[in-house]
């Protein structure tokens, strides 16, 4: 095993930011023991296509800023999927009233 600097595991896994003990930005564990609270690992894999594992020896934390961005991705994804469903429902409804829409 190589000799890693002690701060290696304290940097954000996504943006490499580092905060010492006096920093106001919080580091959140990627793999939280409380499954209902944290889905960071799932969001990282789904939205960024980065495979993360508790055994990969890389930093296991993300900064608050990156966690917020993942939440924003999630919110945007949910909104986009909802919008798609509503548009398809509207198109289906319009077709049922007047026949197919010509483009």
Q: Would the annotation count 15 as a binding residue?
A: yes
Determine if residue 19 is labeled as part of a ligand binding site.
Answer: no
**Is 66 marked within a binding site?**
yes
DSSP secondary structure letter of residue 36? T
Q: What are phi and psi of 68, to 5 degrees?
A: -65, -40
Contacts of 34 (CB under 8 A, 6+ apart): none
Which residues are 61's β-sheet partners? 29
Q: Is residue 23 marked as binding?
A: no
- Pick out the residues of the known binding site: 12, 15, 63, 66
- Pick out the residues of the known binding site for Zn(2+): 12, 15, 63, 66
């Amino acid at each position: 095993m190589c000799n890693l600097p002690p701060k290696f595991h304290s940097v954000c896994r996504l943006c490499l930011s580092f905060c010492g003990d006096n920093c106001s930005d919080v580091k959140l564990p990627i793999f939280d023991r409380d499954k209902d609270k944290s889905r960071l690992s799932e969001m990282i894999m789904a939205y960024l296509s980065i495979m993360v594992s508790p055994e990969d020896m890389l930093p296991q934390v993300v900064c608050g800023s990156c966690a917020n961005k993942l939440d924003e991705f999630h919110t945007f994804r949910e909104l986009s999927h909802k919008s798609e469903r509503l548009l398809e429902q509207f198109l289906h409804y319009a077709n049922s009233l007047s026949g197919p829409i010509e483009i």
